[in-house]
Amino acid sequence: MRKEIPLIICFLTGFMMILTFFSGNETIKAMATDLLNWSMIIGGAAFFLAVGSLFQVNLQKISRKSDGWGFSVILLFSFFITLILGLGYGVDATYEKEINLSNGDLLANFEKGVKAYETNVAKGITILSSILEVSDNGEIERIIGKIAENGIPADKTLTVKHFNPFFFIYKYIYVSMAGTMFSLLAFYVASAAYRAFKAKSFDSGLLLCAAFLVMIGRVSVGEAIWPGFSTIAEWIMNVPQTAGQRAIQIGAALGLVSSSARILFGLEQSYLGQD
């Protein structure tokens, strides 16, 4: 039964999903929606599995002092720091904190409040002046002096936006590093093209011509040199390229249908851990 039960579950769920595509029956639709929700929950749960696996692999590396174990330490350290900051500060670019303007050092609080609007200092002074009920003459020192003269209105608070450290890590470390890795491709492509992109035969010559026309026609300099480059590149993309893509996609789709049918009918059982 260890083999039959998964096969039956697979057949029934697969059949149900196929039926949803062709049936307007509300009960079947509702059942299919539940199944889809389950698949998303399983997808979410897979993250825990991934984290478990990450720990297992890297802790093993550290304990055995394998090659590059130091990178595993950095990885786990970064993981914890990011996790803690993410849970603590959320995913927004900023987080809000209230400061009581009448508590503590008036000048320090006032300046802190103005700094919250550092993209627009004048706007910050105006807002703070209105909160503290003093006339705005545009200079921090004079406003502070006026407040000192008239006394500080009680319980005047200002919500100050702080830069989220989690977002800082995300934007200035993760995004930059990921972008760097991706952009390295430009250097490798240039070097590889110089060494390998040669018209050694008629076929490779044809490929080279097409690549040349698309490369020049798909950037604005091509249009500046001769507008015809753009037209030719568009034609290559729309006619021969699309024809090739369509053939590949239809072929892949037919392959997918036959593979799915084999799985549904139990002919393909490698997902059960069998050959």
Q: List residues near another protein by CB under 8 A.
A: 21, 29, 32-33, 36-37, 39-40, 43-44, 46-47, 90-93, 167, 170-171, 174-175, 178-179, 181-183, 186-187, 189-191, 193-195, 197-202, 208, 211-212, 215-216, 218-224, 227, 230, 234, 237-238, 241-242, 245-246, 249
CB closer to another protein out of 94 and 269:
94
CB closer to another protein out of 108 and 199:
199
- Distance between CA 84 and CA 78 in Å, rounded? 10
In angstroms, give the least distance from the CB of 199 to another protein: 6
In angstroms, give the least distance from the CB of 229 to another protein: 11
- Distance between CA 124 and CA 98 in Å, rounded? 15
> Residue 243 is inside which H or E element, if any?
helix 242-264
> How is residue 201 annotated by DSSP?
S
Q: How many helices (H) and strands (E) does the chain have?
A: 12, 2
Residue 169's contacts (CB-CB under 8 Å, 6 or more residues apart) are 81, 82, 85
- Distance between CA 31 and CA 23 in Å, rounded? 12
In angstroms, give the least distance from the CB of 104 to another protein: 30
CB closer to another protein out of 201 and 274:
201
CB closer to another protein out of 142 and 246:
246
Say if residue 113 is exposed, middle or buried (CB neighbours under 10 Å; 0-12, 13-18, 19+).
buried
CB closer to another protein out of 8 and 209:
209
Per the CB < 8 A criterion, the answer to whether 59 and 80 are in contact is no
In angstroms, give the least distance from the CB of 251 to another protein: 13
In angstroms, give the least distance from the CB of 35 to another protein: 8
Q: How many CB atoms lie within 10 A of CB 6?
A: 15
In angstroms, give the least distance from the CB of 165 to another protein: 14
CB closer to another protein out of 194 and 267:
194
